[in-house]
Structure 1
C-alpha cells in the first residue's frame, strides 16, 4: 500500500515536470513560458527584503548618484556597515539578518579610508568581519585576452563573489571606470554583467555614479545622472543625494526610480540628513522629511561652462536640438 502511494507521488511529480517542460520553449535569447508557469516558479522564491528602506531591495541593481563631494561614498560605506551587522541605520528600514558585503573602492587609498574611520589615525572604528573591502591591484597588468579594464573586472567579479560568499556588492564608483561615462558606452558591458550577476547569484548591488555640473536651483531628475538614458535601463532602482542651500552640512536623499513599490521619497518628501563624524565614523544622520524646493538655490544662474557640459551630455545621448532646448529651458 505504501509502495503504491510512493509510485503515485512520483508519477504526479513526473507529470507536473513534463507539464512545466512542455510549457517552456527557448527561442534564441528568449525563454517563453505560460504566465502561470512564471508565477508558479516565482512562488518558490522568497519576497525581497528592504536593504535601505524603499530605496533598495534584495537582488536588485541600484544606482546612487550625486555631484562630487556630497557624500556618496560616506553613505555607501554606512549602508554596507549596516548590512554587514544586520543593524538598521537610524531613520531607515532594514529587513533580514547580517550579510556578507564586498565593497569595491576605486576612490580612496587604504590610508584615506583609515583616516575617515578613525580619530585622527587613532581609536579606529571596528567594522564587522562580514565587511570586505577591495582595491585595484596597481601591480597587475591587463591580460592580452581583454580589451580593457572593464572586461577584466567583469571576468574577475563572479569569482570574487563566489569565493567570498558575498550577497551584497558595492561599486565605488562607475565614473572611475570610464572618463567618458556621459556616453555610457564604456560602462555598458559592466552594467550588463552586474545585472546578470544579480540575477544568477542572488547578489544585491549598489553602484555609485556622478552627475555632471547642474543648475542647483532646479530639482534633481533622472536626466542629471551621467549617461542617464543608458544606465537607467540597467538598474532596478535609483536614488540621489542633493546639497541643501540652507546649510553646508545638510544633504537630502531623493528617490529617482523604483520598481514594484510606490514612489515615496519624491520632491515633496525628501529625506533630510546631516553629515557628522562622531569620534571615528563619518556618517549621515537622519533629520526628518522636507520638500526639495526648500533646499534649492534661488537666483542662481548656471554658467556657460555648465550649459556646455549639459549640452554635450545630451547630444551624446542622441537627443535632438529641440529636445535639448526643451530640457534645459532654452530656445
Structure 2
C-alpha cells in the first residue's frame, strides 16, 4: 500500500513537467499549449540570428566564486580525501547565502538561499566542526543543510536510488527556495557504481534539475589514488570521464608538497570564462579558524610544478626496483601502475631499463 501511495505524487510531477515544457514552447511560438494534438519536438531549432536575439533577453551569468563557478552552471569540485573540499564547499555556501565574497574572488550574484546536502558528516560532526570551545559559528538564515534520513523507508519502493534522490532534491529546492544546490558528494548519487552509464544518468538528471529550477549546482567528488608528482587533470576524477564531459565547469584541490598544510586550487574545465587559474597560476590557500569557522584563506598564486612532489634520483631508482619486483611477480604493467600510483608509460620505461 505504501508503494501505491507514492504513485500520485510522481504522476503529478510528470504532469507539471509536461505542462511546463508545453507552456515554455508556446511562449516561443513553437506550439499551442492547449492543443492536445500538438507535437513537442525533441529539438528547438531556430536560425542562428534568432538565437542571438532571444538570448539577449537573458541576464549574463554572474560569478559565484570568481572564474571557478558561475551562476547557472553545473560545476564539479574534486580532490583526494582529507584535502578539505567539504570545508571549502561549506565556505562557499556561507559566502553565497550571505552575499559576501571570498577574497580575492568576485561574487557578482546577489545573496541566495543555498541547500547543502551532506552525505559525509552527521549533524553532531558538523556542529563540532564549526564550534571553537564555547563559540558556535552563526550561519546565515538562508543556508540550509540536509543529511540522509536513515529511517526513511520510501526509497525501498524505487528500483534506482538515484531517481529517488533526484525527486527528494526537487522537493528540497522547492521547500527552501534555494537558488544554489551543493551535493557532498556525488558518489552517493551513483548508488556505489563507477560505470560510465551510471555517471551519464546522474549528470543528465542534475542538468535537468538545474534547467528546470534555474539553479546553480556544485557537486563534490573524490580522486582515486594518484601520483603526487603529476599535475592535477581531468583524468584524476574518480570514475568515468563522463562527469567532466557533461558538467559546465570543474576545478580541483591539490596538496602542496613544498609547504606543509598548504592547498591549491586549479581550473580543470570552463565553458563561459577564460582559463585564469591553470597550471601556471594556481591559487594557494591555508586553512584557518575565525570565530569558530574553519575556512581557507587564499594567500597568492604560483606555478603548480612548484608544489608537486619532487622526485630525486634515489627515489626514482627505488621506484624502478619496486617496478621490477612487481613485474617479476607476474603483475601486468597496468597492475603495477595502479599499485604504485604511476602512469603505464612510466612503468613501461622502467621495465625497459629507463629511469
Q: Normalising by structure 1, what TM-score?
A: 0.83
SS of alignment partner, residue 264 of structure 1: coil
Match of 2:297 among 275, 285, 292: 285
Match of 1:163 in 2: 175
In structure 2, which of residues 119, 144, 151 is the aligned counterpart of residue 132 of structure 1?
A: 144
**Maintained 8 Å contact 2:137/2:293:** yes
Asked if structure 2 preserves the Cα contact closer than 8 Å seen for 1:63 and 1:238, the reply is: yes
Distance 1:130 1:18, change over 3 A: closer
TM-score, normalised with respect to structure 2: 0.77
Match of 1:151 in 2: 163
Aligned to 1:4: none
Answer yes or no: is 1:116 the counterpart of 2:129. yes
Counterpart residue number, 2:54? 41
Matched, 1:262 2:280: no
Deviation at 1:29, TM superposition (A): 2.5
Question: Is the Cα contact below 8 Å between 2:285 and 2:296 reproduced in 1?
Answer: yes
* 1:316-331 equivalence runs, <5 A: 325-326=344-345, 330=348
Q: Which moved more, 1:184-193 or 1:123-132?
A: 184-193
Q: How many residues are matched?
A: 300
Q: 1:183 aligns with which of 195, 198, 214?
A: 195
Contact 1:240/1:253 (8 A) holds in 2: yes
State the partner residue of 2:117.
Answer: 104
Equivalent in the alignment of 1:221: 233
Which residue of the partner structure matches residue 29 of structure 1? 42
Partner Cα distance (2:114, 2:185) in 1: 16
Note the alpha carbon deviations across 1:300-331, whole angstroms, 9 max, x for none.
Answer: 6678799649759xxxxxxxxxxx845x6636
Whether the aligned pair in 1 keeps the contact of 2:265 and 2:283 (CA below 8 Å) is yes
Match of 2:263 in 1: 251
**Secondary structure at the residue paired with 2:168?**
helix
Matched residue, 2:17: none
Unpaired runs of 5+ residues, structure 2, are 1-25, 32-37, 327-332, 350-355
- The answer as to whether partners of 2:266 and 2:283 remain within 8 angstroms in 1 is yes
Q: Distance in 2 between matches of 1:258 and 1:167?
A: 21
CA apart distance, 1:93? 1.0
Q: Distance in 2 between matches of 1:19 and 1:279?
A: 51
| Contact 2:155/2:161 (<8 A) preserved | no
Q: Gaps (5+ residues) in structure 1?
A: 1-16, 313-323
Aligned equivalents of 1:18 and 1:129: distance in 2?
Answer: 36
**For structure 1, which segment, 55-64 or 39-48, has the greater mean C-alpha deviation from structure 2 after superposition?**
39-48
| Distance across 2 between alignment mates of 1:249 and 1:192 | 37
Alpha-carbon separation, structure 1, partners of 2:274 and 2:63: 14
Q: 1:226-259 CA distances to partner (integer Å, 9 max, x unpaired)?
A: 1242111220000000000023320000000000
| Aligned partners of 2:337 and 2:347 also within 8 Å | no
RMSD after superposition: 2.7
Q: In the TM superposition, what whole-angstrom CA distance separates every residue of 1:251-283 from its partner, at most 9, and x where no partner exists?
A: 000000000321110100000001112241111
